[in-house]
């Protein structure tokens, strides 16, 4: 399985909007098309390709001083639990000094195993009763 990160040049907000329905199971995680357009205008998006096929994305926002914030990190379910996410994060960790993100309970363990540390819990971040977890990786 060959994993490649390819920087997006021609953003297609509609493509990303449609793909999230194949990835996310919770409606509160799904952005509308306008949000995708805004995110893709201000962030750097990398397509995750496996053997030449789109498998997900990692979208990074510049926070200055070598810090990037992971705005979106999505992998199609068929490629999950196969080392793809770890490989993508390993590439990002080699490139950037500091990575931050807010994640949810279901994915927090994955990030902690990949070397991130928990900074704080943000109550009701996603919706009432669904907390977010601010995480940090520092080289």
Whether 139 shows a pLDDT value over 90: the answer reads no
CATH of the domain at 80: 3.40.630.30
- Mean pLDDT of all residues in the chain? 95
- Determine the average pLDDT of the residues in 123-132: 96
Domain count, the chain: 1
Question: Could you tell me the CA-to-CA distances from 59 to 6, 48, 72, 100, 124 in Å, in that order?
Answer: 11, 10, 5, 12, 23
pLDDT band for position 104 (cuts 50, 70, 90):
very high
Q: What is the pLDDT of residues 15-64, one digit of tens each?
A: 999 999 999 999 999 999 999 999 999 999 999 999 999 999 999 999 99
Whether 125 shows a pLDDT value over 90: the answer reads yes
Q: Which domain holds residue 97?
A: 3-138
């Amino acid at each position: 399985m060959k994993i490649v990160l390819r920087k997006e040049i021609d953003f297609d907000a509609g493509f990303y909007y449609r793909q999230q329905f194949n990835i996310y199971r919770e409606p509160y995680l799904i952005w509308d098309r306008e949000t995708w357009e805004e995110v893709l205008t201000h962030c750097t998006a990398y397509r995750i390709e496996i053997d030449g096929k789109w498998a997900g994305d990692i979208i990074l926002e510049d926070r200055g001083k070598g810090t990037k914030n992971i705005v979106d990190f999505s992998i199609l379910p068929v490629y999950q639990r196969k080392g793809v996410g770890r490989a993508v994060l390993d590439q990002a960790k080699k490139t950037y000094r500091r990575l931050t993100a807010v994640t949810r309970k279901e994915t927090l363990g994955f990030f902690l195993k990949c070397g991130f540390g928990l900074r704080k819990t943000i109550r009701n971040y996603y919706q009432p009763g669904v907390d977010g977890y601010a995480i940090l990786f520092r080289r």
